Amino acid sequence: MIVYGIPNCNTVKKVRAWLTANDLGYEFHDFKKQGITAEKLGEWFAVFGWEKVLNKKGTTWKKLSPEQQEQVKDETTAIAVLLENPSAIKRPVVEKDGKAVLISFDEEQYRDLLNS
C-alpha cells in the first residue's frame, strides 16, 4: 500500500495515524519532494475524476490567480496545474495493490476497504 501526500497535511497525518493504529503497513510518497507524474494523475482521474483530485478548497488553489484557475477546464489543464502545484492535489491518495482506492479520509471507507 502506498499513501501519497505531504507530511504536514492534517488529513495525511490522520490517515497515517489510523493506518499505524490498525497495524496496516504502508509506504509514504511525499509528492512535493518525490514528485508526481502526469501518468499517475491520469490514473487517479480515471478512478476519482479530475474534479475530485483537484482540491479547490485548499490554500494552494486559492493562491492561484483567477486567470490560472479559469484555465482549468478538463483533465489536460488540471494535470498541467497539478504538476506545477502538487499541493493542490486532494490528499491523501491511497493505492492498494497498484490501484488508487481512496482519496481524503473517511474512517468507515478505510475500515471497509483496507481491513478486508
User: Is 9 one of the annotated active-site residues of the chain?
Assistant: yes
Catalytic residue among 2, 5, 6, 9: 9
The CA–CA distances, whole Å, from 116 to 11, 35, 109, 113 equal 22, 30, 11, 6
User: Where is 27: in which H helix or E strand?
Assistant: strand 27-30
Three cell numbers written together for 116 = 478486508
Q: Looking at the annotation, which residues are catalytic?
A: 9
